[in-house]
Amino acid sequence: TQLLEQSPQFLSIQEGENLTVYCNSSSVFSSLQWYRQEPGEGPVLLVTVVTGGEVKKLKRLTFQFGDARKDSSLHITAAQTGDTGLYLCASRNTGGFKTIFGAGTRLFVKA
Amino acid sequence: ETGVTQTPRHLVMGMTNKKSLKCEQHLGHNAMYWYKQSAKKPLELMFVYSLEERVENNSVPSRFSPECPNSSHLFLHLHTLQPEDSALYLCASSLRTGGGTDTQYFGPGTRLTVL
């Protein structure tokens, strides 16, 4: 069974700082998704990466998929209080329904 | 109407009660999912329905019983639960019936507390 390990588990930073969170596995991902979950809500998809070495940008968020497709990172530039939330990575087997989630990184951005 | 709705948002029940969670999606999707989210643990997939047929049952105890009467509605019937079943129960839907890039849309969840 593929496991996704996320680090750090918890991160508290000041507004304006940069940060990076990581998602790692011992297995190769067919694709990887990043979600953000705000308190009292369900996860919302941010991005899907499918190609090794791929980099995707979403405003101040930069997502990178490792060349070997075993790891991924999410970098946030100049964090804002609205970035506060639980960041989850997830992977799903090709053609299947079962999505595996990491335990998440809980980010708190202080004003 | 927002994409995926869940009712109730909060539920407190005793171990001998019977209750049901409801999920409705207004996105025209073919697949629906139940997940359990406990503190400090990854989301756990419980059940998947594709075109109203159950295609995944992830070793869930029989005290949880899903029902999918049509492609827009999904229920989770609960009976004789244990305190360790207290968690956030999330419903999701997706357009395609599986696939690595299929996007799941989540509801806000039902916060369940079992006394």
Residue A42 φ then ψ, to 5°: -85, 165
Residue A66: what are its φ and ψ, rounded to 5°?
-60, 155
CB distance A92–B99 less than 8 Å? yes
pLDDT per residue as tens digits for the range A42-57 = 999 999 998 899 999 9
Q: Which residue of A has its CA nearest to B92?
A: A42
What chain B residue is nearest to A96 in terms of C-alpha separation? B98
The amino acid present at B110, given as its one-letter code, is T
pLDDT band at A2 (very low <50, low <70, confident <90, very high): low
3-state SS class at A60 = coil
Identify the weakest region by mean pLDDT among A25-29, B3-7, B22-26, B81-85.
A25-29
Of A42, A101, A103, the CB nearest to B108: A42
Distance to chain A for B55, nearest Cα, Å: 8
Residue with tokens 């918890």: A10
Cα separations (Å) of B55 from B31, B58, B75? 10, 10, 15
Mutate to test the interface with B, among A47, A48, A99, A105 (most CBs of B within 10 A): A99
- Which chain A residues have a beta carbon less than 8 Å from that of B102? 92
Give how far B43 is from chain A: nearest CA, Å: 6
pLDDT, one tens digit per residue, over A65-104 is 999 989 999 999 999 999 999 999 998 766 677 888 999 9
